[in-house]
């Protein structure tokens, strides 16, 4: 696999991980049923209701993805380390968000009736696991960037190669122009030499060269 293709696949991993985490953040993670309160209630809590950390880490991972193409060398490796940290943050925050204490606190913030029930029922679905999966995928992409990112080409490398191929053109044009000027100078010199030789030969024969130029016989 070429370094450029490896970079592209790693970028897809990071984008997929961040996308999964952001998708899951808007879905319902838990439902709290308070049947023993004055009025029975059921509150559905999304990932954002339980905490904004998973979504924030996913957004940071997307920002790091843009820097993955714009940087190179050790800077790119540092971006990979940050991306892996963002992925780990998504995993930790998603796991912590579905703890019973956190779910009850979030439900209590939305309705005081939940706190009146001594034993509310908590139903947690699997959307938080989707967020965890996204964090793992994002972390893997960051680790790949950390380990192998220094070998990948930068975004401007192809433009540098193209400019390097076009650079000799002006020099070649100058050389061609210089050669043409030298040739023209040489031709002019040869013509001047021929005229001088013809003049001396006519003088040796006793001819008047001025008379021939003026048109006299």
Count of the separate structural domains present in the chain = 2
- Between these two residues, 36 and 147, which has the higher pLDDT value? 147
CA-atom Rg of the chain in angstroms: 40
Do 81 and 8 belong to one domain? yes
| H/E stretch holding 190 | helix 168-204
Residue entry with tokens 């030298």: 182
Do 63 and 145 belong to one domain? yes
Nearest-10 Cα torsion for 138, 140, 143, 148 = -110
> Each residue of 39-74: pLDDT tens digit?
667 778 899 989 889 999 999 999 988 888 888 888
| H/E stretch holding 44 | strand 41-46
Do 158 and 63 belong to one domain? yes
Task: Give the mean pLDDT of 72-91.
Answer: 92
Nearest-10 Cα torsion for 72, 76, 78, 79 = 140
pLDDT for the residue 212: 52
> Each residue of 121-169: pLDDT tens digit?
888 999 999 999 999 999 999 999 999 888 887 765 444 444 445 544 5
Do 50 and 101 belong to one domain? yes
Name the percent of the chain in helix, strand, coil, to the closest 5.
Answer: 75, 10, 15
- Domain with 150 in it: what CATH number? 1.20.140
Longest Cα pair distance anywhere in the chain, in angstroms?
141
What are residue 45's phi and psi, to 5 degrees? -120, 125
Confidence band (pLDDT; 50, 70, 90) for 215? Answer: very low
How many H helices and E strands in the chain?
A: 10, 3
pTM of the complete model: 0.67
Do 180 and 92 belong to one domain? no
pLDDT at 197 over 60: yes
Do 146 and 205 belong to one domain? no
Do 28 and 90 belong to one domain? yes
Confidence band (pLDDT; 50, 70, 90) for 5? Answer: confident
Confidence band (pLDDT; 50, 70, 90) for 21? Answer: very high
Return the sign of the alpha-carbon dihedral for residues 69, 70, 73, 75. negative
The helix-helix angle for 73-97 and 127-148 (nearest 10°) equals: 160
Which domain, by its residues, includes 175?
A: 168-214
């Amino acid at each position: 696999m070429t370094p450029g293709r490896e970079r592209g696949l790693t970028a897809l991993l990071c984008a997929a991980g961040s996308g999964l985490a952001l998708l899951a953040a808007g879905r319902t993670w838990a439902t709290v049923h308070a049947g023993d309160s004055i009025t029975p209630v059921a509150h559905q809590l999304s990932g954002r209701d339980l905490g904004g950390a998973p979504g924030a880490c996913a957004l940071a991972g997307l920002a790091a993805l843009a820097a993955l193409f714009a940087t190179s060398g050790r800077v790119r490796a540092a971006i990979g380390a940050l991306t892996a940290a963002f992925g780990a943050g998504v995993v930790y925050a998603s796991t912590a968000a579905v703890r019973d204490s956190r779910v009850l606190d979030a439900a209590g913030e939305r309705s005081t009736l939940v706190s009146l029930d001594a034993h509310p029922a908590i139903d947690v679905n699997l959307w938080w696991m989707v967020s965890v999966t996204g964090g793992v995928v994002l972390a893997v992409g960051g680790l790949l960037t950390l380990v192998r990112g220094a070998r990948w080409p930068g975004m401007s490398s192809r433009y540098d190669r193209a400019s390097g191929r076009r650079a000799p053109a002006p020099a070649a044009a100058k050389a061609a122009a210089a050669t043409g000027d030298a040739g023209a100078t040489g031709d002019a010199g040869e013509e001047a030499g021929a005229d001088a030789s013809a003049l001396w030969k006519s003088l040796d024969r006793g001819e008047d060269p001025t008379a021939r130029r003026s048109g006299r016989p």
